[in-house]
Structure 1
Amino acid sequence: MCSLPMARYYIIKDADQKALYLRDGQLLVGDPDTDSWSAEKICILPNRGLDRTKVPIFLGIQGGSCCLACVETREGPSLRLEDVNIEDLYKGGEQATRFTFFQSSRGSAFRLEAAAYPGWFLCGPAEPHQPVQLTKESESLARTEFYFEQSR
């Protein structure tokens, strides 16, 4: 578990109240009430090296020992989980841009924009048990709003 006092843990859900969970090294979205898995507790820490008015955050899983990163592929920006400690990212700051998301609120929901790829947002899948991904802001059916439930 992340030991930094400012670390907060959340269960993150999409607009359909499906939660993020980890399976086979991927962050998926599904319904914990009907399936045999449990929602992932996401550790969130700020990236102090970027503009704080944009609310830059890191998203760590497995107690902060693995973090969500944005990487370039032939198809464009993509998400990947990497074995990097969230506390190390917190101490590193600006060099950790590919692990950073700008958090913006939309009422009670939040959107998470990839700091390394402006205009690309974390997006939930249309079908359950599929991985979260990145999508361009202009895509009209994008499922880019998430709800954060504080956890322990």
Structure 2
Amino acid sequence: MALAQRFCPWRIKDADQKALYLRGDQLLVGDPNVDNCCAEKICILPNRGLDRTKVPIFLGIQGGSRCLACVETGEGPILQLEDVNIEDLYKGGEQATRFTFFQRSSGSAFKLEAAAWPGWFLCGPAEPQQPVQLVKESEPLARTEFYFEQSR
């Protein structure tokens, strides 16, 4: 069994228990029962090249063949999915930091901070069927807490 396959049993949900799902090239948050979607299985592998006390992780979808990356736009970072294998990142691929998130515990939930952009966090949208994005920690009403649930 491939390394990524062993680490893909996760679903990520926001504080309202809405799951991350893929539509086109974007990760959205929604209710699979209402939005006619299927919660995405997420692969999680550690970034062994960064400080392990900060719990650096890679997030992959589609069996680990695509990974969430943080890309600079000139107005701050944005999220995008890139066709890069999570196992290559795990083995020490180039530019791995922009694919890395620090997993911070917040009670039973987690916040995911972009390693390449300290103070920027993965954020679920307030409106349904909108993409997940990055926001500054200071953003009021930011929906930055997520729950990891093992999928069956």
TM-score normalised by the shorter chain: which range applies?
Answer: over 0.9
Matching of residue 49 in structure 1 with residue 49 in structure 2:
yes
Task: Write the letter of the residue equivalent to 2:40.
Answer: E
Matched residue, 1:80: 80
Specify which structure has the higher proportion of strand.
Answer: 1
- Kindly report which structure 2 residues correspond to 1:26-41, keeping only aligned pairs within 5 A, or say none: 26-41=26-41
Q: Tell me the number of residue pairs that the alignment of Structure 1 and Structure 2 aligns.
A: 151
Say whether the 8 Å CA contact 1:48–1:93 is kept in structure 2: no
Distance across 2 between alignment mates of 1:22 and 1:77: 20
Query: Could you tell me which residue of structure 2 aligns to residue 120 of structure 1?
Result: 120
Q: Whole-Å Cα distance in 2 between the matches of residues 143 and 94 of structure 1?
A: 30
Partner residue in 2 for 1:101: 101
- Deviation of the 1:93 alpha carbon: 5.8
Determine the structure 2 residue equivalent to 1:12: 12
Contact 1:66 1:84 in 2 (8 A): yes
Question: Matched residues in 2 for 1:24 and 1:37: separation?
Answer: 12
| Letter of the structure 2 residue corresponding to residue 51 of structure 1 | D
Q: Once the 2 structures are TM-superposed, how far is the Cα of residue 8 of structure 1 from its aligned partner?
A: 4.4
Q: C-alpha distance in 1, partners of 2:8/2:61?
A: 12
Q: How does the TM-score come out when normalised to structure 2?
A: 0.94
- Residues 67, 99 of structure 2: 8 Å contact kept: yes
Q: Which runs of 5+ in 1 are unaligned?
A: none
Identify which range, 84-93 or 105-114, moves more after superposition: 84-93
Any unmatched runs of 5+ in structure 2? none
Q: Under a length normalisation based on structure 1, what TM-score does the superposition of the two structures give?
A: 0.94
Would you say the 8 A contact 2:11–2:20 is kept in 1?
yes
**Cα separation, 1, equivalents of 2:94 and 2:116:** 11
In 1, Cα distance between the equivalents of 2:94 and 2:118? 16
**SS of residue matched to 2:69:** strand
**Offset, 1:53:** 0.2
- SS in structure 2 of the partner of residue 92 of structure 1: coil
Q: Percent identical across equivalent pairs?
A: 82
